[in-house]
């Protein structure tokens, strides 16, 4: 997967990489993040994907289990998945 943010001062092809990444994630309910900017956060939400950084410092197995429990508690596992939104690069 192409890197969206590589730490430089310019974004160059970042918009294309970000759009490609979000298209790749189509159908996902949530994405666990350790760091995420405002723009990617908003675009993920617009695509129906919930960014989650609450468990960034936990082992991935624990983080996934915690998010699963949160989704189950909220009743989000009982609903059929929404059709993914399509984004243009």
How confident is the model at residue 88, as a pLDDT?
A: 56
81: confidence class by pLDDT, cuts 50, 70, 90: low
Weakest-pLDDT range from 3-7, 13-17, 70-74: 3-7
CA-based nearest residue to 11, from 40, 31, 32: 40
CB 24 within 8 A of CB 2: no
Each residue's pLDDT tens digit, 13-71? 556 888 999 999 999 999 999 999 999 999 999 999 999 999 999 999 999 999 999 99
Q: How far is CA 12 from CA 9, 23, 44, in A?
A: 9, 19, 20
């Amino acid at each position: 997967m192409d890197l969206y943010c590589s730490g430089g001062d310019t974004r160059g092809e970042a918009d294309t990489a970000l759009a490609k990444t979000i298209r790749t994630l189509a159908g996902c309910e949530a994405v666990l993040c350790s760091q995420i900017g405002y723009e990617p956060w908003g675009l993920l939400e617009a695509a129906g994907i919930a960014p989650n950084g609450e468990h960034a410092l936990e082992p991935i197995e624990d983080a996934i289990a915690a998010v699963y429990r949160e989704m189950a508690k909220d009743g989000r596992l009982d609903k059929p998945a929404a059709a993914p939104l399509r984004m243009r690069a």
